[in-house]
Every structure is written in structure tokens, then in C-alpha cells.
Amino acid sequence: MSESDLSSQLVLGGGCFWCTEAAYRLVPGVMEVESGYAGGPGGAPTYEQVCGGATGHAEVIRITFDPARVTLGQLLDLFWHIHDPTTLNRQGADVGTQYRSIILATDDTQRAAAEASLEQAKATWGDGIVTEITPLTTFFPAEAYHQDYYARHPEAGYCQVVIRPKLAKFARALE
């Protein structure tokens, strides 16, 4: 049996993919996290095209996980702790449709789990959640310089001011 037979994938976006990638790398049972683009029509976009807003894609991450160690439900629950799902097309100072809150379901089981998770999240966030739940059509990996950005540049200003506090908040959610 191959490693892919023992793992599952989840694609979601909650603002800048540098932030969400760094957070999910902390989760036991997560085997890989890859930054990328999804949620829009058309072929493989560049970062500049996505930032321009014309592609319709969001900055997302693709999480490969071992369901024997971490469940889809647990990963979705953590999603609501790493970002603000009530701000349309923005997270903090990051503004644009590429920063929207989105869960891209790979199948009906994931869609049902995402919808159930959203309903549970309303206990914390209320009815103002703007998170999209939509089918995943295609995931496009981001350029190499975006991958594992926080680990490679922990002293960069954005990493210190934006990502590090999010990781601290996320670590508390993991406890």
C-alpha cells in the first residue's frame, strides 16, 4: 500500500497562505502542507495574477494528513481558530478576493464535514461567517519561493508581526 493510500487531503484558505501553511505544519498527523491557488476558473495562475484579482483564485493550502492521527473534523475545527471567517475578502491588512475564507471540498463527504463544521463555528462566530464551501476543481501549487515561507524567513517583518502572533494563537487551539 502506498503512502497516498494512507493519507487524505484538505484544501482551504484563510487569508495569506504563508500564515495558514505555517500553522498547519504544527499539527501532529499533518504530513505535508503546500501553498497554492484554487477556487477560480482557468489555468495555472501566477502570484501576480492572483493578487490582481482577475483570476478568481484564492491563496490556499493543500494539507496532506494521516487520518489515523488527525481527523478531517479536527483540521476543520482548527481552521476557525487561525483566521477571522467573518471578514469578507480580507484578513487583517491583507485585502482582496485572494484572501477570502474558503473550504474547497474534494468530495461529498468533505463538503458535509465542512458544512457541519461551519454550523459548529457559529457558536463562536455567530451568523456573520462568510466562508465559502465549494467543490475543489483544481489546485495549482504556488511558486517555490512561497513554499514553507515562515520557516525559511522567520525574521522577516511580515513573519514577526503577522504570522508569529497567529501561530501563538493557533498553538493554544492545539492544546
User: Can 16 be counted among the known catalytic residues?
Assistant: yes
Contact 45, 5 (CB under 8 A): no
Which one of 16, 19, 51, 159 is the catalytic residue? Answer: 16
Q: Is 73 strand, coil or helix?
A: helix
The secondary element (H helix, E strand) that includes residue 103 is strand 101-105
Three-state helix/strand/coil letters over 24-39? HCCCCCEEEEEEEEEC
Q: What is the largest CA-CA distance in the chain?
A: 45
Query: What nine digits make up the cell of 68?
Result: 489515523
Closest C-alpha to 92, from 11, 174, 171, 18: 18
Angstrom distance (rounded) from CA 105 to CA 116:
13
Sign of the alpha-carbon dihedral angle for 149, 163, 23, 55:
negative
Phi, psi of 170 (to 5 degrees): -65, -40
Active site members: 16
